[in-house]
Amino acid sequence: MNTPDKIRQLTPAPLWGNFADLNAVPRASKKEERVIEFMRRFGEGLGLDTFVDAIGNVVIKKPASPGMENRRTVVLQSHLDMVHQKNADTKFDFDTEGIRMYIDGEWVTAEGTTLGADNGIGVSAIMTLLQSKEIPHPPLEALFTIDEETGMTGAKNLDETVLSGKILLNLDSEEDDELTIGCAGGIDTNTRFIYSEDPVAPGSAAYQIRIRGLKGGHSGLDIHLGRGNANKLMTRLLYQTTQSLGLRIASMDGGSLRNAIPRESVAVVVVPAAHQPAFEQEFNQRKAAILREFHTVEPDLSIDLESTALPARVMNPGDQDKVLNALYAAPNGVFRMSPDIPGLVETSSSLARVIVQDGLFVTQSLQRSSIESGKADVAATMRAAFESIGAEVENAGSYPGWAPNAESPILKVMVDLYEGLFGAKPSVAACHAGLECGIISEHYPGMDMISFGPTIKHPHSPDEKVHIASVEKFWNYLVKILKETPAK
């Protein structure tokens, strides 16, 4: 296994060194205290004007290099937090351990966990620019936001007095040949339902059902790929079996993070002992059908059934029907494609989290759309599925999309520079992920914004990896952009 020292030797070495230092700091969303302090000390250690606003965003300002004082100030922006996900069989404590990175051929990845390249490579690139004494650059304002992954509260609560730049480069895109000029907005839908429980009937048998091995991934960028959602697959396995064989649910636990496609789910169920052979036969038939359907896109999917100890209580049959009906009806996946931008998902929904335990049924889901009316529509569809069973439904964490501006002045500069450097036109597109640009533009109207970055695959999953050569390409491009920024 490669060590972090090998990663520090990659090109550009200062950037990779900063990434290794950053990845040694635990930085889960809403637990950013250590990384905020890390970044504050970094800025102050360079003797630069460093400011932490009331919500925890860090701003570091660097004067222009000699001869560049008449150029427009550029805001460089990335988020400090990262998605913390790991495989079920990986022993790792995100609260105390640094990410265990290694080189795998052309990629850098991590041992059974998310890597943090989203958005750690962007953060590390900005750190490298702040450190450099050789790279020509205009006045720089480095903006490191917090909590991007679980609500964008850093961007939402950004101090509106600390930035003066009129150009913002967001370093949070994940294809090195793409310039992003727009993104989707999002809203969380959280539900809560109290159900009745019954004692387990005598003469019953219990089973644990476990779904795992799904690819998961980013519930915006990857939603169109047809990957399995562990919560929906578990619902499908249980839905009809309850009617025919008297299956009763004791517990369910599926998914983890609101913005990740759920990869795993586990349920404990009870059936009358007399129905065990029929249940096992029907389960295996349903399992085989699902594996056939998903064998191309989910080759590592496994669905396992094993006997387990009897629980004390199970869900009341009437409430169980309500729960499964709501889960089956809950929208998941692509809701609508954009009629204006070919290939762009306009509206989607992801059923991210399902818990059934001790009389309480809760879900978390995230709806996204490029248009506000579409976001409201799909959120209302999710709301209707759960309100129909009497569940409490709360919408939270709403954030706006970022409307594309094809006439952006900095866009023209960046397209021309890309062609000159790489001999090809970049792809100029909007994305179905949530970026902070739309929120920041509400605080700073008129700011000209572009998002770009290196190639990162499978963000928000333990398969996350960043392409080594694309990091160098991204870095060289960024340096060139700063050299060619327009005059005031």
| Domain annotation for the chain: domains and CATH numbers | 4-184+401-483 (3.40.630.10), 187-399 (3.30.70.360)
pLDDT along the chain (488 residues), means of 10: 80 98 96 98 98 97 97 98 91 95 97 96 98 97 96 93 96 96 95 98 96 95 96 94 85 94 97 95 95 98 98 97 97 94 93 98 97 95 98 94 89 96 95 92 94 95 96 98 93
Distance set, CA 486 to CA 193, 220, 370, 449 (Å): 56, 34, 30, 14
Could you give the residue numbers annotated as active site?
A: 81, 148
Q: Please tell me whether the peptide bond between 119 and the residue prior to it is cis, using omega within 30 degrees of 0.
A: yes
| Distance in angstroms (rounded) separating the CA atoms of residues 419 and 365 | 40
| Distance in angstroms (rounded) separating the CA atoms of residues 139 and 61 | 8
Give the per-residue pLDDT at 3: 67
Give the per-residue pLDDT at 2: 55
Task: Write 441-444 long-range contacts (CB < 8 A, 24+).
Answer: 441/402, 442/400, 443/155, 443/158, 443/160, 444/160, 444/163, 444/168
Q: Please tell me whether the peptide bond between 299 and the residue prior to it is cis, using omega within 30 degrees of 0.
A: no
Beta strand spans in 309-447 (E): 313-315, 333-337, 345-357, 360-369, 392-399, 427-431
Question: pTM for the complete prediction?
Answer: 0.81
What is the phi/psi pair of residue 264, to 5°?
-140, 150
